[in-house]
Amino acid sequence: MTRLEEMYKEKVVPELTKEFGYKSTMQIPRIRSVHLNIGLGEASQNHKLIEEAVDELTRISGQKAVVTKAKKSIASFKLREGQPIGCRVTLRGDRMWDFLEKLINFSLPRVRDFRGVPDKGFDGRGNFTLGVREHTIFPEINVDQVERVKGMNITIVTSATSDKESKQLLSLLGMPYRK
């Protein structure tokens, strides 16, 4: 059990129960999964980019990344159906908690001019999406070996029914929101 998971069980659950007045433990919001996604539109011409992105996302997440392919052909983007255009990973369980702890405590503070995470990434159903401009903020990535800096989307899927509950859950876990 990770440090963040212990904190969730010991501190966050009682705090959320007190604040929102849950009657059952099943009502208490929890984190279900974390999805990582790197989209590489220019990879349709350069297949080496996809292999590099899969390797880096695998190192960041600790789990093998899956290549995503185009669903439709779009002539203006020189894209054909079935061409590789990115990679993704879904984390659950211990790997999810390890990644969240690393994201909150190590990676986000390494962002240049970091003033906090914007709280506009909620979808209305309690899920939070965060965009990272440089994947080099993660400690597993050696900046000297990176050919091209890639952006990344991180989606945290929760069981919360509202954005307010989800934001409170994530901020109690230590997510540094902008003031």
Domain that holds residue 10: 3-16+29-40+54-63+87-115+122-172
How many domains would you assign to the chain? 1
Assigned domain for 165 exists: yes
Tell me, what's the pLDDT at 113? 83
What's the Rg (C-alpha) of the chain? 18
pLDDT band with cut points at 50, 70 and 90 for residue 70: confident
Assigned domain for 107 exists: yes
pTM: 0.89
Assigned domain for 47 exists: no
Assigned domain for 34 exists: yes
CATH number assigned to the domain comprising residue 129: 3.30.1440.10
Would you say 27 and 142 are in contact if contact means Cβ atoms under 8 Å apart? no
Assigned domain for 68 exists: no
Assigned domain for 45 exists: no
pLDDT band with cut points at 50, 70 and 90 for residue 33: very high
What is the Cβ-side half-sphere exposure of residue 19, based on CA atoms within 13 angstroms?
15
